[in-house]
Structures are given as C-alpha cells and as structure tokens.
Amino acid sequence: MTRPVSSPVMPATSLADWLRAASDDALAALLQTRRDLATPPPADTGVLATRAGTPGSVARACEDLDTRTLAVLDALLLAGADTEAVPVTAVAELVGADVRAPLDLLRDRAVAWGDDDAVRVVPAAREVSGPFPAGLGASAPVLAGTDLEARLGETGEAERALLNTLAAGPPIGRTRDAAVDVPLARATTPVQRLLARGLLLRRDDETVELPREVGVAVRGGRIFAESALTEPELPTNPHQTSTVDEAAAGEAMEFLRQLESLLTAWSAQPPPVLKSGGLGVRELRKLAKDLEVDDARAILLAELAVGAGLVADSQATTPEWVPTTLTDSWLASAPGQRWITVAQAWLELPRLPGLAGHRDAKDRPMAPLAEELRRPLAPIARRRVLDALAELPDGTGVAGVDELVTVLAWRAPRRGGRLRDETVRWTMAEAAALGVIALGAVTTATRALLADDRPGALTAVVEALPKPIGHVLVQADLTVVAPGPLEPELAAEVTAVADVESAGHATVYRVTETSVRRALDSGRTADELHELFRTRSATPVPQSLTYLIDDVARRHGRLRGGAAGSFLRCDDEVLLAEVLGNPVSGEYELRKIAPTVLVSPLPLAEVLDGLRAAGFAPAAEGPDGRVVDLRPSGRRVPARPKATRRVAPEPAVNGEQIAAVVAHVRAGDRASATRRGEAVRLPGGGGADTSATLALLARATRERREVWIGFVDSRGTASQRIVTPVRVGGGMLEGTDNERYPLHRITSAALVEEG
C-alpha cells in the first residue's frame, strides 16, 4: 500500500498508523479487495485495522494468494515480523529470491505493512498459517555455530530417511523412543540416535520436533525449493477452433439426447424421493441401464434435470421426481437453445454432483439430488477452472487434467479446501460431457457464456452443431438409419412410427407392428406413412415395410370408440358381438345401445387399453370422426421459481460506495484527533440533559462553529463526527456536509476548540 508524499519520515508503528497515512486511493483499493472490511463501514482507521487483523479476515485475504506470495508471508513469520519489525533483506535472504512484488501484494491487502527497513505482519497471520510456517519447527539457539553438515554426514540411512520426512513438514513426530535420554553409544533406534546427536528435540515423552536449523540444512540450505516459487508450466496442445467446436457439439447433442430420454422415462414412471432426500441407488442404476451410461453420467443428468428446473420434487404425500411444465417448452426448443439452458444451469449449479457416492461425516453414502451435495461456492470453483482454460489462445487445450490441477493448486493453494483438486477433475469431466469443452479447450460458445453473452453463445453453438438432415435410410430388415441429427419435423414423424434401437451420431430406429399401430393411434393414416418413407428415404422402401403398414392398417380402427363416458361403434356386428362375449366387456361395463354401438361409463382411454390387452385393435375417434391420439404425455408438476444464485465471484463494489466508506473512515479519524472543549452528554451518560445538548448545538449553529458529536447509527455502531451545524430542528441535526443526524441517536456533543 503506497503512502502519501507528506507522510511522516518515521516508520508506522502500527497497522492503524499505516492505514491512516495511506492515500484515499490505496484505502479504496484495500476495501475493494477485502470487502468484508467495509461492512458495516468502520468508524475510523483504528476500527479498520482491528478488523483487518482478525483471523477470519486474514484467512479470507489469503485465500487467492499464490504459493510464492504465501512463501513470503511464511518467511516474514519465520523472521518474527508478527512481533517486531524486520528488514526486507532478511526476508529475501530466507526466501532466496526477490520478494518485492509479493510483499507489495501483502501490503496492498493490509496483511503486512511498513517500509522496507521495518516490515510487520498482523499477528493473526501466524494463526492462519499454522504453527509451523514453511513446514519448519522452532529455532534451537543451542545449534548456533554448529557444523550441521558434519553432524548430518554421520547419520545412517534410517536416520536420514526420518530427517527427510520431518523436514518436508510438519516437523513434529510421535514416538515412544523419546521417553528417556539415551547416550549415543547405547542408542538403538533412529530417534534415539538423532536425539543423542542433537538433531531432534524432545517436546515430551512421546513427541519430538525437528529444529528449524536442521530442517533448512536437510532441505539443502534453502527454506523453499526454487521450483516451488515458480508457477508450474502448463503443457498445452494447439487445435483448430472449428475442430474444438465441432467435437464439443457432438458431445452436446449426445448429452441432450440422453437428457430427453431421462425426461421421457420419468414422465412415464417418476422415481420416488428418498426419505432423507435424493435419488435411490436402485433408481440410479435403472436410469444408467436404460440410458446405457455409467453412474457418473446418470448422476450428472439427474442433477442438471433438477438444476435446470426440468424436474422437481412433487412434494406429495409420496414424493417423486417428476418433470415440470418447463419440460414441454424445453423439448419443443431447438437443440442450440436446449444446450444453452442446460449449460447455463450447470455453470450456476450450487452443487457438486461428483460428491454423490462419497461418504459423509457419519460414514453414510451421499445420494444424488440430496441436500448433502449442496455447495454454494461450487459455481465459483467451476468458473475458476474454465477461466484458466479461457486464458489460453483460441483452440488451445491442456494436455492433461493433472497438470491443470497442479497449476491451479499453485495459484491458490488455500482455496477450495480438501476438495480443491477433486473439484477441478470433476469440473473438467462434467464440462467435457456437456460439450462445454473439448480436447481440453473451451469452445467459442463457452467463451461467450463466461462473458455473459448469451446471444453470442447461442449463435456459436448453432453454427457448431451438425446441420439437420432431411432424409433417412430404410433397410430391408425394417430398420431406419438417421445418419445425423434429423430436422425436428422429420424426427417427430420417425419417432412416431419407429422405436429407437441404438442412439449416437447415427441413430437406428426399428419399425414394428406395435410402433405402426402407435402411429395410427395418433391419427396418422397408412397413406401418410407410405408417403413419409417414400419421400424421406434415400434408399428404396422395402416391400416388407409396405406390407407391414398395410396389414396393421387393415385391422386398425375397425372398432372405434368415443366418449359417453365412452362408446364403441363398429359396422361389423359380428365383431361387436365378439367384444360383448369377451370378459373385458364385463370389466369395463360395456352394453349395446344400437346394433353397431356399445357404451361404457368408464373413460375412453381405459376402455381402449383394456380392449387392446384383450387382443382387439380399437382406435379413438374424435367428434369429427377422425382418429385421435389419447396417449398421455407424461406427468407434470408446476415449475418452481429458481432461487437467486451467486454464479461467479462477487461483482465489484460500486466505486461510489467505496468512496463513501473511505470518507466515513476519514471523518472518524478527524473526529478522534480533534480537541474538544465545552461538552454535554445525553441522559444515561451521566451528563447534562437533552436541553443542554440542544442549546450547545444551537449555539454552534449561530456561531458557525464546528461541533464534535458521538452517535449510534441504525446498525447500533457507535462513531464520532465533526459537523458544522446549519440547522437544528424537527428532530434532526443538519450539517454543511449535507448529512442529517437524528437527535435521538446523538449520545454526546462538544464544541471543537480553535487553534
């Protein structure tokens, strides 16, 4: 943090002095970086310094510091900068490298302060860094002037291995061999021999510690390895941007197809919600089997279906995971729009799907969709990984995930906790499955999403997706091959008359008697089906398919039903007699009301299902006599509004807000440093009554004199101000600074002495 030119020559003796001498711009930059210091606005720099020195605030300030900067902080602690000022040269000697840039960063964050000849760090930094800065133990003055290299040369292989382990950190070891002193000649274990040589120190009967001097010597005379102070290189592979986009588009299409299959399956048969919340193991494995994917992919699909609002807990007496009303509009959208919805939901998902199956604190497996998977900071961690990839040139991908894990760990070793590295691996795997990345590189669409350019992302993904085709290949074995994504209208027609047999970049459908009957049930005619295959097949239509359609159509719809409850009509009286003679007529209470008409009090859909199960082939009839489709579209529950999510790192605080906080702090400093003369206090403070205070304020108004006031704001925070009153009345004190102070919040007042 830079100091103004007019600052005193004497070095600051406290953090409050350093902050008080800093420029307004430097103070604003500090509050912008450490936003927890500004809420609520500190009364003065003393309060600001106190907040900046709390362990929680220091830990937060150190979260995104890189390994090199944290090494400099450890070196400051090793030099004792938390108890007394130390010169920069001593810190640089410990680090073995230039420390100016990292030290300036620590100063800017008010973790360290002072000029180069007297640098200090906040005492809480030792608590945050742990008991062993740089992984080294306490210093042992008795080793001063000792030839440690000679002593180390006398150690055996087992002793050296133990020293290497402790030197790597932490320097504390538990052992039973420290109970008694043993001369070197009688020592039998490595611990006893090292204690006898003075290379280990006994802390108690079961604990030994490696002295700092020995640890540094074992490390080769350096506190930090040179490689540890340099960011690891990130191996990359260059690709054409179009290659990355096309590869990602293929993965995106497959993911969308699988998500559509999940929604279709759960529409027909929603899985139950576990009593503890989440999706059961049996339902998960069934989903994975039906979709022909592994458990990890099935978990991601389920999490995103819920995260995107396409599926929700029905919250019924027996709750189930049911598609919402948003599902229909999503299914009707173009593939590009579908992908944008899912990709955005993934970026904002405050959960870690990768945790599913892991054990919780009570050693119980965590279920998909359960509350235990919720991690509010997951979107920030996800974006951090993608931002690192987006820093690379277009089309450039990382060579391996492990290398990226290493680089991100170096850049912010304190961020992410115990799941730091696993979160990076999960993010890369999920992003690849979604088509957010491909070949280790972010796509053009992803770059646009990260920049909050949704229209640009949609344009990019539409350009990358395979162009829909308008033909299929009909085979002699009654299979229909779609050599790519079909046009939406053609896809709907083919799906209506054929079942998916295998999916992928080329989808294979199979036409069966059941699928043809399903198409006829939906209102299509045999002529329309013949026309579909004749005009849309790039191969000749086999006779077997023509015969199949004609045969099913010949028997289909001879028996027709309507609503009475429901009715059945047929020109063939023999067929109606056969229906009445079948047990199904009694089950559905069918009765004849005319030679060619039967009626039932039950819904038509139930009657038709019963007749089909009995071997008949009825069709549903609308008011105009045309065949209608009565198949249910699946269960739906109302879509629920999404909770507001913090998607990315918090946006920068408004500059005006920061300026107001700085002005608030400076005003508090001025009030604290002001000499006060005649004073009064409000009742409760042991001083004069309210009338005396009002009289003093009125006098200051008449004489245009500055007055010192103490007041408590709406948050209950006490502070001080210097005000030049211009009006006192209506329960308010108004000053020349356009500030208004409620009189009932003023606890004391005093005239400011001149001179």
- In our burial notation (b when 16+ CB lie closer than 10 A, e otherwise), range 124-151 reads bbbebbeebbbbbbeebeebeeeebeeb
Closest CA to 431 of 462, 467, 404, 393: 404
Residues ≥6 apart with Cβ < 8 Å to 659: 24, 28
pLDDT of residue 310: 94
Query: Reduced to 3 states, what is the DSSP secondary structure of residue 127?
Result: helix
* Per-residue confidence (pLDDT) for residue 445, from 0 to 100: 95
Residue pLDDT, tens place only, 294-344: 999 999 999 999 999 999 998 888 899 999 988 988 988 888 999 999 999
Q: Angle at which helices 513-521 and 488-497 pack, to 10 degrees?
A: 120
For tokens 């300026």, name the residue. Answer: 659
In Å, how far from its chain's centre is CA 255? 20
Using DSSP, state whether 599 is helix, strand or coil. Answer: strand
Cβ(52)–Cβ(89) below 8 Å: no
Cβ atoms of residues 200 and 208 within 8 Å: yes
- pLDDT score, position 677: 55
Q: What is the DSSP letter of 754?
A: P
User: Is residue 85 a contact partner of residue 12, using CB atoms and an 8 Å limit?
Assistant: no
What beta strand segments (E) does 148-267 contain? 172-174, 201-204, 207-209, 236-238
* Non-local CB neighbours of 538 within 8 Å, separated by 6+ positions: 471, 472, 473
CA distance 29 to 139: 37
Q: How far is it, in rounded angstroms, from Cα 718 to Cα 745?
A: 9
Phi, psi of 285 (to 5 degrees): -70, -35
Between 41 and 296, residue with greater pLDDT: 296
Q: What pLDDT is recorded for position 687?
A: 40
- The mean-pLDDT minimum among 418-427, 557-566, 575-584, 613-622 falls in 557-566
Question: What confidence score (pLDDT) does residue 372 get?
Answer: 92
Residue 3 pLDDT more than 50?
no
Q: Within 10 Å of residue 325's Cβ, how many Cβ atoms? A: 13
Going by C-alpha positions, the residue among 199, 204, 229 that lies closest to residue 67 is 229
Mean pLDDT of 57-75: 91
Q: What is the pLDDT of residues 146-176, one digit of tens each?
A: 888 888 888 888 889 988 888 887 888 888 8
- Residue 17: DSSP 8-state: H
DSSP string, 197-228: HTSSEEEETTEEE--HHHHHHHTTS-SS-GGG
Predicted local confidence at residue 10, as pLDDT:
41
pLDDT of residue 690: 67
SS3 466: coil
Strands 732-735 and 740-742: antiparallel
The model scores a pTM over 0.85: no
The angle formed by the CA atoms of residues 698, 702 and 704, to the nearest 5 degrees, is 110
- Residue appearing with tokens 């079909």: 486
DSSP E strands in 38-171: the ranges are 112-113, 120-121
> In what helix (H) or strand (E) does residue 10 lie, and over which residues does it extend?
none
Q: How far apart are CA 211 and CA 239, in angstroms?
A: 51
What Å distances lie between residue 19 and 6, 73, 236, 249, 739, CA to CA? 14, 19, 44, 53, 25
Alpha-carbon distance of 120 to 14, in angstroms, equals 9
- When pLDDT is averaged across residues 433-439 and rounded to a whole number, the result is 94
Q: Which residue has the higher pLDDT, 177 or 296?
A: 296
- Angstrom CA distances, 366 to 58, 266, 279, 372, 422, stand at 33, 22, 10, 7, 16
Q: Which pLDDT value is given to residue 482?
A: 85
pLDDT digits (tens, 9 = 90+) for 726-749: 787 777 888 776 777 787 777 777
- Got the DSSP string for 674-733? --EEEEEE-TTTTS--HHHHHHHHHHHHHHT--EEEEEE-TTS-EEEEEE-EEEEETTEE
Rounded to an integer, what distance in angstroms lies between the CA atom of residue 286 and that of residue 290? 6
In this predicted structure, the answer to whether residue 691 has a pLDDT above a threshold of 50 is: yes
Do 245 and 444 touch, CB atoms closer than 8 A?
yes
- What value does the mean pLDDT take over residues 574-597? 89
Structure tokens, 163: 């020293």
Asked whether the beta carbons of 119 and 113 are under 8 A apart, the reply is yes
Mean pLDDT calculated for residue range 342-353: 95
Question: Is residue 560 within 8 Å of 569, Cβ to Cβ?
Answer: yes
Number of CB atoms found within 10 A of residue 502's CB: 12
The verdict on whether omega for the bond into residue 40 sits within 30 degrees of 0, i.e. cis, is yes
